[in-house]
Amino acid sequence: MGKFEIEETAIRKLSELLKENDLTEIEIKEDKKTIRVSRSLQFENHPVSQMAPPSEDQTIAKKEASTTKQTGEAVLSPMVGIVYLSPEPGAANFIKPNDLVKEGDTLLLIEAMKTFNPLRAPRSGKIVEIKVSDRTPVEFGEELIVIE
């Protein structure tokens, strides 16, 4: 059996694991050899997939907004996903501006890979600003909330 056939078999098995476990990427390392298999997800009839990429003006405006002086500490998104400001549709939001929160309080949820992940307050303080809207996509490292 040739080297290519072994790698092809490994790639096929890794591809099956991706599908079975609903993963987007998997990697194995053996000695100095690494095999990585990844796939992109397609969302048909999903509002996120139908959004246009941000224009250059929007990107510049976002960078300028994030560099303006603000009071308080920005809470950043720990992952890519969809933000939910309330625990369920029709329920009150977890927080609103001027609310006082304690360290560990749930601020919002980020849905990634069909899992809802709570974003908790890193410290106690007052909510100065909520920089995202309900049910919108967020990027890793994006400013979500400002706590004073």
Q: How confident is the model at residue 128 (pLDDT cuts 50, 70, 90)?
A: very high
Q: Residue 144 pLDDT > 50, yes or no? A: yes
DSSP reduced 3-state for 103? coil
Sheet of strand 81-84: strand arrangement: 115-120, 106-112, 81-84, 137-138
* Structural domains of the chain, with CATH: 3-38 (no CATH), 64-147 (2.40.50.100)
Amino acid at 8: E
DSSP E strand stretches across the chain = 25-30, 33-38, 73-76, 81-84, 100-101, 106-112, 115-120, 125-130, 137-138, 143-147
Q: How confident is the model at residue 57 (pLDDT cuts 50, 70, 90)?
A: low
CB atoms under 10 Å from CB of 40, counted, come to: 6
Q: How confident is the model at residue 64 (pLDDT cuts 50, 70, 90)?
A: low
The structure's pTM equals 0.53
DSSP reduced 3-state for 138? strand
Looking at residues 105-131, what average pLDDT do you find?
Answer: 92
Q: Residue 11 pLDDT > 70, yes or no? A: yes
